[in-house]
Structure 1
């Protein structure tokens, strides 16, 4: 029987960040609620259902920095992202 996947340890963070959409042209503010080596939970000012499947997240507003992420779930103003 295969072993269940173990989630990476999450660290509560509550730090401001920016996500970029549309090839880096539209920066939107978000709050990183918690983070792990594999992903994070973010909260936005707007409904997270409008997020595309792939985004870039950075802790600075500079769109040339950051990490590519896949949105794996959305609920209200929150979303779960996986670093890719």
Structure 2
């Protein structure tokens, strides 16, 4: 019996954010929900919502609260209050 090697998966470089506070913008920016960013990569991020609130499938994310830039996101997976999102262009 031979053991097949698993092919290496090329992943994007990830930057640890160590729970940095960010803000989820819902309903076109009229509702704001605080969250924590666990890690972020050029294509997406893993976040934890502080409140038990349905964020839907799409929202805007402010990675830096004092900056006006908002990143449009799509939820690709969820587990309790933790979400994996991909950034939309």
**Does the 8 Å contact 1:9/1:36 carry over to 2?**
yes
Match status 1:57 vs 2:38: no
1:26 deviates by 0.3
* Structure-2-length-normalised TM-score: 0.78
CA distance in 2, matches of 1:22, 1:61: 20
| TM-score (ref. length: structure 1) | 0.82
Superposed CA deviations along residues 27-83 of structure 1, whole A, max 9, x for unmatched, are 1000000000100000111246x1211110012167x53110111111011000100
- The change in CA–CA distance for 1:11 and 1:53 in structure 2 (over 3 A counts) is same
State the 4+ residue runs in structure 1 displaced beyond 4 angstroms. none
RMSD: 2.1
Cα pair 1:69 1:81 within 8 Å, conserved: yes
CA separation of 1:56 and 1:4: change in aligned 2, threshold 3 A:
farther
Partner of 1:17: 22
Structure 1 21/61 Cα, relative in aligned 2: closer, same or farther at 3 Å? farther
SS at structure 2 position matched to 1:23: helix
The structure that has the greater radius of gyration is 2
- Ranges in structure 2 where 5+ consecutive residues have no aligned partner: 1-6
Indicate if the aligned counterparts of 2:33 and 2:51 stay in contact, CA closer than 8 A: no
